Amino acid sequence: MTQLNGQVVLVTGAQQGIGRAIALASARAGADVGVNYLDDAAAAEALCAEIAALGRRGVALAADVSSPAQSAELVERAVAQLGRLDVLVNNAGIFPRCDFLALTEGDWDSVINTNLKGSAFCAQHAAKAMIARGRSGAIINLSSSAIRGTPLGAHYAASKAGMIGLTRSMALALAPHGIRVNAVAPGLTDTAQPRHGNSDAELAAMGAALPLGRMGQPADIAELAVFLASGAAGWITGQTYHINGGGYLV
């Protein structure tokens, strides 16, 4: 089993879906976890209770990652309450559907600010915290198979494609400090996001159409993220891992 014994992992947007699964998988691997959330304190506290039941510390940390100032405070609070920071998982993201011809500047800015700018500045603040304490570390960015394009998500696809360029650039900039940066690009995964506008039957059909015959589960993504955070991936940086049941082959 991949181990993160004694490490501290901060997961943004961790109150549900893939972020929640990564937080739990990190705790099972031996890490204490900072559980960032935007507006669902009850879900974040419930997750922290599950982490505590696994024998690890979980701390709920409210912050809007689209604000660089709040991102800085988020990292500071995580370090203050958990003692250090070894891993950041940039999971927080939004995907409001919008036809391209109806896309407004506000629609564009809200998605880019949360998904891309938020990840960049969370990573910057996390890296500074690691460097200040003389620590190596790992940063994992969540991209998406939507980089192929989606008619109701030009802003979302752009943000997730940008995440790949951001990952490569950060990997080069932070390698001298011993900080590895990689991206994970999930395909169709059983979370609230694909359930927006799709029935259970439609989702089941989409999953069955994939080469591996099913929709992904958050735990599928979480196990890859924990591997990339661990010493087992110690010579891996600047890479994007597509995890999609064979639906997108690169």
What residues are annotated to the active site?
156
**CA gap 18, 125 in Å, rounded:** 22
What radius of gyration do the chain's Cα atoms show? Answer: 17
Residue 78 CA to residue 24 CA, distance in Å, equals: 17
Closest CA relative to residue 186, chosen from 135, 156, 235, 147: 147
- Pairwise CA distance, residues 57 & 157, whole Å: 35
Contact 36, 64 (CB under 8 A): no
What's the CA gap between 200 and 180, in Å, rounded?
Answer: 38
Using an 8 Å Cβ cutoff, are 145 and 129 in contact?
no
Strand partners, 247: none
Q: For 196, list phi and psi in degrees, rounded to 5.
A: -75, 105
Helix axes 17-28, 41-53, angle to 10 degrees: 20
Q: Both ends of the chain: CA-CA distance in Å?
A: 27
Distance CA 223, CA 229 (A): 10
